[in-house]
Structure 1
């Protein structure tokens, strides 16, 4: 893997000067090592600052262990630091981490996806990054229940942290974690603490409307050292800034999120604990933060932050989760049972008039506009049992079993509308796709310590899934009735790492790991004359192998530490949307490869000052021609910047005898393309490189804190993602944009 030579400079478009600048500036790794202290605490003793720099734990390998010892790239974003910086969403998380990308999946406003390390084809069949809430997988593993565009956007309040694991996690976390994993880790109830917190926030976006956030939590010890209850409630209102010129310039991307979480922890003995959690969240959006741009030039059709809609595009996303975690200390091992039940619904409307108006007009169907109503409904029950050995410097092991049962339902309803937005005939299509997905898996890892400083880890997971798909159609464009389809598949994933620690604060590792997305059934299309099938009955799982070499260590004791990782990912049988016998479906393309470098640096040059940087370089491309993707060998993978970086600095100090803090985050993302050059149904659109600067600060008043933030200080107009599915018939590109300058003020109080 050529990571430092001239080959990288040429492929990634870096001049020596640009490399030098990026090497000095880097980017915010936002890793917990630099984010564990509350931003408004007074300057502490140097020893305490050092502890904040070094001692952060993650659960990446299903054990709590220091992040500096985990043999993979693991970012830790502290929940409190995110809240104080005004970061509220999954999109904000992705923006802080170079090499992690958030995109709007389609013209539908409630569908989004997140990708890492270039493992994306633009329009995703299924998710390539797993989403977890604590230890429970969230979202569908099926291609038929919105899994490819249903990334969980959980409210970032009362979270201990957000863990972001890069590279395939298939052995410990299963299906659809082939590119990486995002885990929301909620704060635990505390049996020795009675109190809570309340927060109120106001924000204003340039050219838009005022937004607000209301949050509150209370922690109650039900029984001293035995039981505790923690209740969290939050509401976030985004004022919006995108205007619809066909409806008097009204703002059409406002949003409201209401959510809550209740957690009860019980510890009847020192060897037994139980945690019950209920989480619910409802997100309602008036529409998406997208503007209409010209595909060929990238310039706005009318003006920045504007678009034209015949019909509004509201969406409502509801997520509910119930979990029960039982943990028993058997002395020689720990036994855990993790039970989860979840339901996710996504109901919305998209405006496809820009495409279907001209297209249907050619065949004599003329209407003022069209509306596409869609919905996803997925219910999932999961159960995991895990047995983890006690800590040892000889042999550590973990074995487990996993079961999941999903029942999904996807609906689409496209109707012509008159000028008053009333439905008219003919009904174009009404489709429903009920589906089931069941998975059972057994997995295990073992770590053998060759010496006190050298260890080897091997892991394997054997999974079996079975799926069933029904479908029903009506309307003018409805195909003939097709029989139901089923499939069964067995998949094995592997993990191997070698780690050497030449000193207590240094670690070198080599990691090889595999991951996959499940395949699935395809409705059999029969020849009306011969009765023979015209297509394949299923599409295969796609899989990848990742090879990674990394180093983590301290350069100056208690002051400066760094991490470096080089990787190559080989991706086979890529799942793609395709057409067969005149009908759209899912198929498999051939191969792609992603090579990259990730570097981070964390420093504490003086007491109370923390600096962290990160840099991501990615060379992701097709290795073979793919007509279904519209790409040729050597072409760059969509939605992936070759270069991305960020820089963060935070300073704690005293002002007028009160604790205060100031900080900033600068981030840079290189240019990207939304699709391949000849992508069927999605003309290619270039997204220019951009950078953005955020400021934050605050002042403490005893139990109260007053904080401010300024997002996108320089008011950069940045294009984040593009949907060109409406452009084939001359419609504009729908381009997701960064919010203009946003100023917020936050008041929080503990009681």
Structure 2
């Protein structure tokens, strides 16, 4: 067998075995924080877990987007708003398959960005069993989205080493009376059929002033623009979600919030297209080469109970959550069967890689946030998280119609069971040294344990597998810290200096893939950590007509988790290991101007140099000076919106435009690495207009106005096994929506 074929076999089997190589690679103070409109410094956030404050008064790098403003612009999920946040980028392979990047901190292993829905942890898991991606929360009945930049490990835990994204939902309101909204929209995407979306919510006081429930729902049929041999618009997305919340105001000081949410996202095919079919022939534009149906489904359940008990000296908060996620991913493997097993791709080799995963995360936290008289304030709490995952990776044969029968012959099949336990104690002490000068010191003491076992049910090519492999273990414990000095120079200027540490736990490497070729790889890898040094300034000028904020930061990242290679001289296998150091140097700014009544102008930008500070231990997997993958050097965004009253029509009218820029980046450290692909820079332009009168509102939105089709990601290519797949932003989409509030 040729070396190139062996390399392809290595990539393919590793994908089967690890599920990664082929997958593309508090309710604080009773939620007193209700988001203001827009994206400005007036929005109230609960980023500190200690008290609610406006963006301008919070001495860390945080941005917030109001839920109503997102709705007015037709935002459905993460892809519709992240360009507006400087230093936020993404490794994007479609709905439910994104890996978030903040301030250039991105590598193999678990997610580097923490994700929360209110108090519930929904962070993406370790990637060694085919994951790492968090769910795409649909933006219905959302109060605000908070993006906290820089390490948040002391308060939000392990995978918040780069930052944290929090979706804050609207809560039931016993004092709010019966109220709600209904919105529906038609969506037309270039090269696709007509789609639609609808969502709504209702608040019902059961016992006014004491008990209320809020029910909300979402449904979308977003048209697809990629065809394959089975259907036109195969990548259409159908999503549905529902959320039920209840609030019991048991006493003026005691509040109980309950939340239950369900979300279901389905695509008949992913968002990539191919230029060549399996025989090397040129395909029509926006067409997939797949010979097997390859659907994707993503179902999530979220349950939470939060209790807040407020006293004159502080607030006690207790919260428990359960997050359940089931995903199913299929990728055509017909050409692999031909390359490795001699089975023709269009007949007996017609088959697919199928990966099903069940994940359950139970978490809870008990904390106290003080409100003492005097210069001292404290935040102290305890946290637990228990996680169970079951992952099944199989290679079934397909029938002549491209379906995977329940009793299909298997060319490979394995399962992976993972158990994780994490415990932590955290706290912060703040002291007002002088009026308007406050020093905060915080820490988190953590203990992490992981156990994993694989079972080979069917061997490569068919036949009985080797059975259960050894139980793999990894554990980690330690203490991380945060130090913040905040100084309010005047009513117009706040500044802060922060030194913060972030960490990410290690994991295990399944060795069964390499064992096929008698190649030895390590059974695990250690944690990595970083120190972030940041100076920020927040200014409120011209009688609150101008908010101008900026920050400079330096990140020193040690023992970075990276993809490495082991070889016997002929065949090599990938695994996750620890490299050396990486450094990130950056500067970011945001401007929110309101020069005249009704006019709002937003500008933002980020520049950073995220690079390896030394060669990776395994030659050729990354060298000093290589940029971190999927990190653009520059990102920027701008928007303008004008609202006015039209006397002749008796309506409020608004119109505006937005533009964003993402700089070039690459999928690997350097061009010498297999599957390195450059990603070009691109601009996106949007426009919107709307009218409203009383409870009625109509909005017209256009996204990707100039129909930019720059490639934003690639499928992992295996020569002779998979043709190169291209991902791009959604083509120009026009939506017309109508909403009524009551």
The TM-score, its normalising length taken from structure 2, stands at 0.88
Q: Once the 2 structures are TM-superposed, how far is the Cα of residue 634 of structure 1 from its aligned partner? A: 0.5
Which residue of structure 2 aligns with residue 736 of structure 1? 727
- Cα deviation, 1:396-440, whole Å, max 9, x if unaligned, reads 110000011111111100134465447799732101001100000
2:425 is equivalent to residue 442 of structure 1 = yes
Residues 222 and 425 from structure 1, CA distance in 2 versus in 1: closer, same or farther, beyond 3 angstroms? closer
For 1:122-521, what aligned pairs fall within 5 Å after superposition? 124-139=108-123, 141-144=125-128, 147-149=131-133, 151-192=134-175, 193-244=177-228, 246-247=229-230, 250-292=232-274, 302-354=283-335, 357-361=338-342, 367-390=348-371, 394-417=375-398, 419-421=400-402, 427-477=410-460, 481-521=468-508
Q: Say if 1:313 and 1:631 are closer, same or farther in 2 by CA, change over 3 A.
A: same
* 2:610 is the counterpart of 1:620: yes
Query: Deviation of residue 498 (structure 1)?
Result: 1.0
Instruction: Tell me if structure 2 keeps the 8 A contact 1:333–1:389.
Output: yes
C-alpha distance in 1, partners of 2:353/2:147?
Answer: 35
Distance 1:233 1:134 in 2: 17
Correspondence 1:719-730 to 2 at 5 A = 719-723=711-715, 725-729=716-720
Aligned to 1:81, the other structure's residue is in SS state: helix
Distance 2:251 2:41 in 1: 32
Cα distance in 1 for residues equivalent to 2:345 and 2:709: 41
Residues 355 and 667 (structure 1), Cα distance of their counterparts in 2 relative to 1, 3 Å cut = farther
Distance 1:393 1:715, change over 3 A: farther
In the alignment, does 2:635 pair up with 1:648? no
CA separation in 2, counterparts of 1:505 and 1:128? 34
1:557 equivalenced with 2:550 (yes/no) = no
Asked if 1:671 corresponds to 2:664, the answer is yes
Per-residue displacement from partner, 1:279-323 (whole Å, max 9, x unpaired)? 11111112222222589xxxx964542222111221111110110
Q: Over the residues paired in the alignment, what is the CA RMSD in angstroms?
A: 2.9
Match of 2:88 among 100, 112, 126: 100
Distance 1:53 1:118, change over 3 A: closer
TM-score (norm: length of structure 1): 0.87
Query: Is 1:76 aligned to 2:64, yes or no?
Result: yes
Change (3 A) 1:527 1:88: closer
Measure the CA separation in 2 of the matches of 1:264 and 1:220: 9
- In structure 2, the partner of 1:707 is 699
Query: Secondary structure of 2:484's match?
Result: strand
Deviation at 1:525, TM superposition (A): 7.5
SS of 2:434's equivalent?
A: coil
- Check 1:628–1:233 CA distance in 2 against 1; reply closer, same or farther (3 A cut): farther
Gaps of 5+ in 2: 1-32
Cross-structure match for 1:7: none
Instruction: Give CA deviations for 1:129-183 in whole Å, capped at 9, x if unaligned.
Output: 111011221145444565512x221110111000011111101000111111110
456-465 or 281-290, which moves further after superposition? 281-290
Aligned residue for 2:599?
A: 609
Partner residue in 2 for 1:632: 623
> 2:503 touches 2:527 (CA, 8 Å); kept in 1?
yes
Change (3 A) 1:216 1:420: closer
Q: Residue 36 of structure 2 aligns with which residue?
A: 36
The 1:686/1:362 distance shift into structure 2, 3 A limit, reads farther
1:363 is displaced (CA, Å) by: 12
Q: Is the 8 A contact 1:144 1:410 kept in 2?
A: no
Q: Is contact 1:647–1:666 with CA below 8 Å preserved after alignment?
A: yes
What is aligned with 1:697?
689
Distance 2:396 2:555 in 1: 43
Larger relative contact order (Cα-Cα within 8 Å, sequence gap ≥ 6)? 1
User: CA offsets per residue over residues 600-629 of structure 1, 9 Å max, x none?
Assistant: 111011111011100111211112222377
Is the deviation greater in 401-410 or in 467-476? Answer: 467-476
Gapped regions of structure 1 (runs ≥ 5): 1-32, 39-51
Which string of whole-angstrom CA distances, capped at 9 and with x for unpartnered residues, describes residues 83-132 of structure 1?
11111111222222232112235xx97532111111113xx321111110
Q: Specify whether residues 362 and 594 from structure 1 end up closer, same or farther in structure 2 by C-alpha distance, changes over 3 A only.
A: farther
**8 A Cα contact 2:344 2:350, kept in partner:** no
